[in-house]
Structure 1
Amino acid sequence: MPIPVDEQGIDVDQLIATGAEGALITPSHQFPIGGVLSAGRRQRLVRWIEQHDGYVLEDDYDAEFRYDQASVGALQGLAADRVIYAGTASKTLAPALRIGWLVVPPELVRPMDAELRRWKEGSPRIEQDALAHLLQTGAYDRHLRKMPANLP
């Protein structure tokens, strides 16, 4: 169910009022206004998921490109055991690569692995190796810093 978003991001109190057990959020780029989830609301969201033993799926949509302020850290860094972090190289490299990732809490690794094996149609091995090389050598980071969206 949709939850209102304002200049501080998702309204966490309204989310809590729904009785939901989890949420899909985009804290780096709150849809539709594009703002960033405020520090206070990040803390409130983390307290809520920890108190209710729930999970948040963090779609790190557009976090690499900031036009109005410095990049912000992922919510996953505040609650690694409660946040499932999703990312992709579609905007930073090329949509046709179709490479994405999930960082899941330790207790979800086995169930997620089993589910991925059940649905997997084959991983693009060459593309994964190329991205791994870019990450290991620092070339991906240099690429991001040179992108026009990140210029002062």
Structure 2
Amino acid sequence: AARGYRVFQLGGAPGVAQRAAERLQATHAGLIIAGTHHGFFDTDDPADVLAAIANADTDILFVGLGVPLQEHFVTRFRSQLAAKAILTCGGLFDFASGRLQRCPGWMTAAGLEWVYRLVLEPRRLWRRYLLDNGRYLWQLGVGIGRVKLWGH
């Protein structure tokens, strides 16, 4: 905020990024939120979103579209994203807007934030946490087993 960077927030449900911007500006004097846009747009044809980011003269772009959509979006449109710095931020706007509450500190310290989030949003997160992460851990275990077995 002190350096006067212009921030654009992209993501979240309609109104969430705007509410996050209002709350962040209330607690960080001088923070310039140059623009916001919700995350429900056609990622195959984001011309209006790209134009909004460019028209806001964006220095720092926060992209909160969720994993892996936000990474795919940034990679695909990097050359068209008119921002000096781009950061992916997952569900940051949900927390910054007050739509979701952060988990207790002890849960974060114990590595259990995912359990808290799963309880808060089971319909949205069950697949990611219970299927996708399980599949990844299985593949990781198989890979480690191969390395130990074959000594590579």
Which of the five TM-score ranges fits, normalised by the shorter chain?
0.3 to 0.5
Alignment TM-score, normalising by the size of structure 2: 0.33
The higher relative CO (CA closer than 8 Å, separation ≥ 6) is in: 2
Rg (Cα) greater in structure: 2
